[in-house]
Structure formats: structure tokens, C-alpha cells
Amino acid sequence: MHLALASGFKFDYTNLFGEGKVTEDDVRELRPVIEKAHAAVMHMRETGEVRGHLSKDGMPEKVLFSKLPYVSEGNLNSPESIARLKKFGEKVHDEADVVVSFGIGGSYLGGRVLFDTSCGEFWNLRTKKQRGGWPEFWFSGNNIDPQRTKDLLEHIRFSAEKKRTHEGGKLNVFLIVISKSGSTFDTMSAFMVVLDELRKSENIDVRVVAVTDPSTEKPTLLKKLAEEQGWETFAVPDGVGGRFSVFSEVGLTAAVCFGYDIEAFLAGARGMDEACRTPELFENPAMLNAVLKFLASEKHGRDIEVLMPYGDYLKSLSEWYIQLLAESLGKTYNRRGEKVYYGRTPIVAVGTTDMHAQTQQHQEGRLNKVVQFVRVEKWKNDFEIPNVFPSVEKLASFSGAAMSSALETAREANEEALSGNHRFNALFSMPELTPYHLGELMYLLALSVAYEGELADVDAFDQPGVEVYKKIMGPRIAALGRKPSEG
């Protein structure tokens, strides 16, 4: 049982729907709610209005992420804004040796997915020439970690020294600071440490680019700083929450620094958005995904979702999804103000790695999980496993197999084993690991949480829970600082 798009993207829900799983009766019973949810999501698409959604300051706020895939005049992503981003990418290509992107949560995770899936683990170990002239690209500000900050600085200083010795001239470093609120401690503290240290080096030329809320009414601290210091800026548009911002200048500013095809990525998101306009449940991938996962949780107690892509470079997709699902749907109150404690718990897993770690739990632990597989059908590179030790029968037996086929065989075995023991699972299948198909998948997941918010009647676009610890932490961190009397 699967839903396939013309692009080749598939959602296979055979092991999530049917006898002993989410049943036709479950879906039938929910029909009126599903219809209302679809009408609400269509309304959100057209007007940006989501019933009951308020900003952090308690003001009505539009939800506009579903506009982002559409690049046209007057839209959040317009031909001019895309051209400007690409021009910035060209400047980075021509002038930067090193880029460091500072951000956390939505200001980090989406860019990380784009980086990992296109550049991989060894990007920064290659020479500039091997990278096609693109600079090194590092992330920072996604933790308050003194050791990694020191290691990053040491690496940049070392590169500067190397450049001075071999080529002469200064190392050109671009620091991209991404923060919608403009004052997130983790991001800003790492940025200030790195900026301050790099400025001390005479071999390094530092340029800063800020990505923040562009509102002039109540400018963010980062916006004010950018104005004061004359830094170039890009925008986190109003109405686009961090966890939905990979389709905006948040994800795209980082992406153009490593030559990512941002237009193909947005085209994939657009293709998925168009596919999700139909009111036919079994033809609408985001609605179907949300309905099946909601019912699996509410009717069958499967309220944990393990997002398990097969392939190392997709691990960050799971990490991005953690924030999307957790902040969007983990809510104490529904929109009627009743205590519901809603929220399916997301778990990161990677195949085949976690088959040797988590699978025991998935296979035999509590019957409370849905394992959501992600598969790449055709890999850009592949290896045939060679017959290196012909006399060792066991090793010789699988020689000749392609690694990609073995990877899929392992996934299928896991799927069959889980299904054979009443373990709910499903599969998103990407024809290839391209920006287009990644755009489709990430957008499907983003729109899915909009549907699920409607089904559960919770506000999927706020995150009041994260303010609680911030209120405790803020004054305590401030108290650690130097007092004015201390100079």
C-alpha cells in the first residue's frame, strides 16, 4: 500500500494501516475531524491564519511557512531574494576561505541537513580546489561548549598560518550569525568568543553576516548590531518559526555557501505542497502521514516515532525532525485550554547503525513505537563488495553484492522482522538523495505537523515550554557576568 508522486517519491504505509494496525474504522470515525483539519490547513495556506495561534508576546501571529516554496514577486522568497542569495553565494565562493555558521535549533538544524546530505563528512578535509573552490564550512553556536569552541579557533588559526606561509595574505573568514530572536545565548556567546579571538589575529580578515527578524518596529538585538556595525543581513521572515525556516533565508543563506541548489530544494517543497492540496486522504502525503501517526498514537498507544533513515548523512534529518515534532506537538493544553499532554516522542535512529543498538528495543520492547524508515533508492556512488578472501566462505558468499543493495536488504529485513511482531512501521522512499527530493521530504514533514496540530487541536506553532527554563537560566547567566563596577 503506497502513495507515489510523479517525481518518484513514495510513502509506503503497508505496515501502518490495515488489520491489527490503524484500521479503516479508525479512519472512518475520524473523518469529520480530518475534513476540518484539511480545511484549516488550506485556510492557513491561503491566509496565514491558524485558529488560536499567538506569538510569544501573546499577539495574533500569521503562519507563513507554506508560502516559502513559491518563488514569485512579492512573496517571502522572490526572484530578487533568490538572486541576492545566489550573488552572496558567489561572493563567498570567490572571497571566503572559511565560513562559520552560528545558530541553534531551527537556526542550525535545517542548514545542517543540507550540508550533510550534499557535502558529507570530509568536506572540510578537502582542499579548496577539491571542493570546487568553495570554502570550509563549520557550524558553531549550537551548544555552549568551551572545548569545541577552542578546537574550532585553533583550527582556523592554523589555517591562517598555513595560508600566510604558503600563499601569503590573510585568511578570509565569514561568520554567519543566525538567530530569529537575535539574542539566543548559546548562539551569541559562541559568536562573540569566536569573533573576539579571530579579530586578535593579524592573519585573519573577519566579515560578519547576520540573519535575523527584519522587523523595524521592535528590532532584535542582532538587527541593531548589524546596523551599527554595517554587517550584511538576511531575513528570518515574520510568521516563519525556526523549525520551519529551512525553506527561508535561514537555511538558504547557509546553503549558498557550499553551492547547494536552493532552487531545486524549493521546487521539491513546492511539488510536495501541490501534492498535498487534495482533500483525498489517500492521495495527500502530509495529511495521510499525520492521520496515520495520530491514530497510531491515540488509538493504539504508539506515541513514539523513531525516524530511521538508512545512510549516515541523513542522521541530521532525524535531528531536524526531533525539533519539528517536539516543539510543534508537545503541548500541555489544547486550543480549548484543556489539559491534554499531547505529543508523540521523536527518537533519532540511523540504519544500519542502530539495528545493532536500538532494534532490540524496537522489536521486543513496549508496543509504543512507529518506526519511520527513510530510504534512498539510487545512490550516487556505490561499491561492489570485493572477493578479498576467497577461502573464507562466509565473506566470499556476499562478494559481488552492491553496498546499496545490501543496505536496502538490511532495511527490508528490519521492516519484515518488526512487522512480524506487531510493530508499526512505514517508509518514505526518495528516488535519489537530491535537493529536490530532500525538499519534498522535509516539506512533507513540516506540513504534516500542521495537520497533526489540527487533529489534536493543539497549537503546532508556539513553544511556550521552552520559555520556562529560559526564565530560570537568564538571570543566573547574567549573574555570572562582569558587573559594571568591575569595569
Ligand X SMILES: O=P(O)(O)OC[C@H]1O[C@](O)(CO)[C@@H](O)[C@@H]1O
Catalytic pick among 327, 408, 440, 454: 327
Q: How far is the CB of 103 from ligand X (least distance, A)?
A: 6
User: Does residue 111 bind ligand X (CB under 6 A)?
Assistant: no
Maximum distance among all alpha carbons in the chain? 78
Q: How is residue 75 written as a grid cell?
A: 512573496
276, containing H or E segment: none
Q: In terms of CB distance, is 135 or 242 closer to ligand X? A: 242
- From candidates 69, 89, 106, 309, binder to ligand X by CB under 6 A: 106
User: Does residue 325 bind ligand X (CB under 6 A)?
Assistant: no
Please state, in angstroms and rounded to a whole number, the distance separating the CA atoms of residues 455 and 287. Answer: 10
Among 292, 281, 244, 275, which Cα is nearest to 36's?
Answer: 281
Q: In terms of CB distance, is 194 or 291 closer to ligand X? A: 194
Q: In terms of CB distance, is 267 or 460 closer to ligand X? A: 460
Question: Quick check: helix, strand or coil at residue 4?
Answer: strand
Please state, in angstroms and rounded to a whole number, the distance separating the CA atoms of residues 84 and 86. Answer: 5
User: Does residue 463 bind ligand X (CB under 6 A)?
Assistant: yes
The one-letter code for the residue type at 453 is G
Q: How far is the CB of 431 from ligand X (least distance, A)?
A: 30
Catalytic pick among 166, 218, 356, 394: 356
Among 208, 183, 184, 182, which Cα is nearest to 195's?
Answer: 208
- Measured CA to CA in angstroms, residue 468 lies from 302, 458, 465, 479 at distances of 28, 19, 6, 18
Active site residue 470: yes
- From candidates 77, 81, 140, 179, binder to ligand X by CB under 6 A: 179
Q: How far is the CB of 184 from ligand X (least distance, A)?
A: 3
Please state, in angstroms and rounded to a whole number, the distance separating the CA atoms of residues 82 and 74. Answer: 12
Q: How far is the CB of 242 from ligand X (least distance, A)?
A: 2
Residue 209 sits at φ, ψ, to 5 deg, of -125, 130
User: Does residue 233 bind ligand X (CB under 6 A)?
Assistant: no
Tally Cβ neighbours within 10 Å of residue 348.
Answer: 18
Q: Closest residue (Cβ) to ligand X?
A: 242
User: Does residue 358 bind ligand X (CB under 6 A)?
Assistant: no
User: Does residue 118 bind ligand X (CB under 6 A)?
Assistant: no
Among 182, 459, 139, which Cα is nearest to 330's?
Answer: 459
Active site residue 356: yes
- From candidates 66, 81, 184, 297, binder to ligand X by CB under 6 A: 184
Q: How far is the CB of 181 from ligand X (least distance, A)?
A: 3
Residues near ligand X (CB under 6 A) are 104-107, 179-181, 184, 187, 242-243, 327, 463, 466
Active-site residue numbers? 327, 356, 470
